[in-house]
């Protein structure tokens, strides 16, 4: 998801919260509050995914992989990394 999608999720959460505050029906208010929390979680997950994607793309040159034998290897020089 892009930043625009994250912003959209946050806007929807705020909209649901405003509607919940204006509602006199307790059941409707609860439902709108739950919807707002879902939008907030979606926005937060989107932000986390974006950060992870940036981290992965910037550390691509320094990446390591799991060998399956309990050690990490550097894919560029194929050496086992000490202490892994």
pLDDT of residue 6 exceeding 70, the answer is yes
| The predicted structure's pLDDT at residue 46 | 84
Which one is predicted more confidently, 65 or 37? 37
DSSP per position, 13-68: HHHHHHHHHH---HHHHHHHHHHHHHHHHHHHHHHHHHHHHHHHHHTGGG--EE-S
Those residues whose C-beta lies under 8 Å from the C-beta of residue 84, and which sit 6 or more positions away, are 64, 70, 71, 72
pLDDT digits (tens, 9 = 90+) for 34-55: 999 999 999 988 888 777 777 7
């Amino acid at each position: 998801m892009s930043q625009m999608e994250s912003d959209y999720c946050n806007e929807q959460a705020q909209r649901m919260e405003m509607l919940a505050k204006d509602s006199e029906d307790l059941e409707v208010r609860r439902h709108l509050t739950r919807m707002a929390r879902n939008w907030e979680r979606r926005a937060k997950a989107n932000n986390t995914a974006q950060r992870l994607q940036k981290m992965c793309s910037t550390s691509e040159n320094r990446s390591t992989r799991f060998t399956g034998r309990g050690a990490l290897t550097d894919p560029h020089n194929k050496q086992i990394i000490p202490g892994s």
